[in-house]
Structure 1
Amino acid sequence: MSKYSVCLLERYDGKDPHSIVCQSATVGNGSTATVTLNGSNATETGKRTLYFRLRPTFGSDVPIIDSRTINQTVITKGGDYDQDGLTNEFEADKIQKKDWPADALNDSDIDSDGLNDGEEVNKWGTNPVSKDSDNDSILDGKEILSGTNPNKADSDGDGVNDAKDPEPMNPNVARSTTQPSKTTTATKDQQSSGLSGIQLLLVGVVGIGIFGAAALLWRVGRDDPDPPTPVPESGTTSIPVTKSEESDTDGDEDILTDEGQVLKLLRNNRDRMKQVDIVEETGWSKSKVSRLLSRMEERGDINRLRVGRGNIVYLEGAKPNGARSPHEEDSYS
């Protein structure tokens, strides 16, 4: 039989580690024992490292047989870690009930619909884990921008889904388009040219269809080939939008997401920037930018390389010379 001690220590950034709790256990030859240590009572908020150390007996002068470390970020119940307008306690409760994804505390817009989670819960009454709460094929954020109801597939109650309604807030427009058209009588000029009123109507419809198809192809050719997914940062009620620089009509607006802002910054800086410059340009926190870039890097949207004490973020084909790319993953509690 041998006696061992297991101790749990914690260390915050820039501070010396200190012991939280120790437990002893007596273990016979060829047997095992389980020791439970509670590290939930953190002494302060912020990033910390937990150390688990195993020694033969109590005492500071005996060697450590084995050790483990865990990186964590300590938050408060009443705080708002992702700055989405919801408390950490509220989001943690949703995660435990499996109503929300496990990463909800790190993501201010879980469903990427252009609205942060606090706005969806407290202001609009939409579903933060569904980008299209009323299933009308329009993003909730897009509906808020256009003035339609994100909780109602037929905002004006005219029997036509908002996505198919030319004026979704005008009940008279959609109804008039469904009424049968009146018969058109051919004029003498039309009759003399051998075309009836119905034939002229068909010719007009075909012409409009060809023009519409040509406009659509022209438009597709001008669109950004890498549309981003919306992930707003702040807990404000405003929704970041951008107006297409090459749009030929007024009011043609799309939601510019966090990923979209990063890609735009890179393209405006010859496809390559320092990570610290992205933090400065966006005004976001370092941890927010780091998490966002990690997700984009996993999807292959961007690349990162370590140069000196910082990272270089670049698009395909803009790789800098000589670098390394270590990455660390932290857990959150």
Structure 2
Amino acid sequence: MTTPSPATTMRASVLLRENELTVEERAVPQPGPGEVLVRVAAVGICGSDVHYYRHGRIGDFVLDEPLVLGHELSGRIAAVGENVDAARVGERVAVEPQKPCRRCRECLAGRYNLCPRMEFYATPPIDGAFAEYVVIDSEFAHAVPDSMSDEAAALLEPLSVAITTMRKAHVVPGSRVLIAGAGPIGVICAQTARAFGAAEVIVTDLVAERRERALEFGATQSLDPREVDVATAGFDVDAFIDASGAPRAVFDGIKAVRPAGHAVLVGLGNAEMPLPVEHIQNLEISVTGVFRYTDTWPAGIHLVTTGQVDLDALVTGKFDLDHVAEALDSDQDPTGLKSIVYPTSTKDTP
């Protein structure tokens, strides 16, 4: 039995075209069978949101009609569709913002993040979470404890990227890890690497403020790659993680990996770039990418509730639904990390 929605209309921030946002009144979406309606509490700003806002596309995903951005979110279940326990109404949740088909080869193999028919929040043409309400499959609305803040619950999404990265990088207790880029994902990766047991986490970045900040979030050493030749410094790391997207950082970082080590490309960068192929072949370096995640929210909730990863400390900006443009532009502040949009709240926002 479907429970009734608490409202019929809602406000949503809509990207009309590059660099142009408006707030619209829209109908509240209705949960279908197996779905829940979530009243959105907090939404983190992601680099992909900024990319759509400024450029109107990411690779083959092109903004050709109005789109609601935002995919890092938490909230509270407001209504449920058929075949969902009505007792879940009122439950605080972190949303895994994707809907795979569940029938294709990749889904059946457990790689639902690679589903060719995936519907992912804030990826054209699927609307995201800069709105008062969203719907999601019930199993992708993950219950969170009351000890976890709305902000931390929302940021379980980028933490999930970091967890996937550590798994692909084979980070284990005692590992030595090199991370290029001390932006939000680089900093979250640094924390997560330490949580996975890394003994050393070396972070490189061109910006001094970001290098200093990395030392507060798990890095054991931070370097300016213009002053230290990463490729020849003898780091001999077990794993290299690129969170910068910079071709030079990728090339040099792979050169710093020890034989049979791993390199994981996370940052959004050029569609094509040179790689040290001879080094990769002769040392049998495994190079792979990260595209979203599968089955990471339980691990993320554990890391946060046990204090191994601090997501609340990442929040450096708070905005309401009328100031989404300012939130998207907040990445230009080198001292900032994560900005949060509150679609249904005015907690300490402009």
TM bucket normalised to smaller: under 0.3
Rg larger in structure? 1
Q: What TM-score, normalized by structure 1, do the two folds share?
A: 0.23
Higher strand share: 2
Q: Which has the higher contact order (CA 8 A, sep 6+)?
A: 2
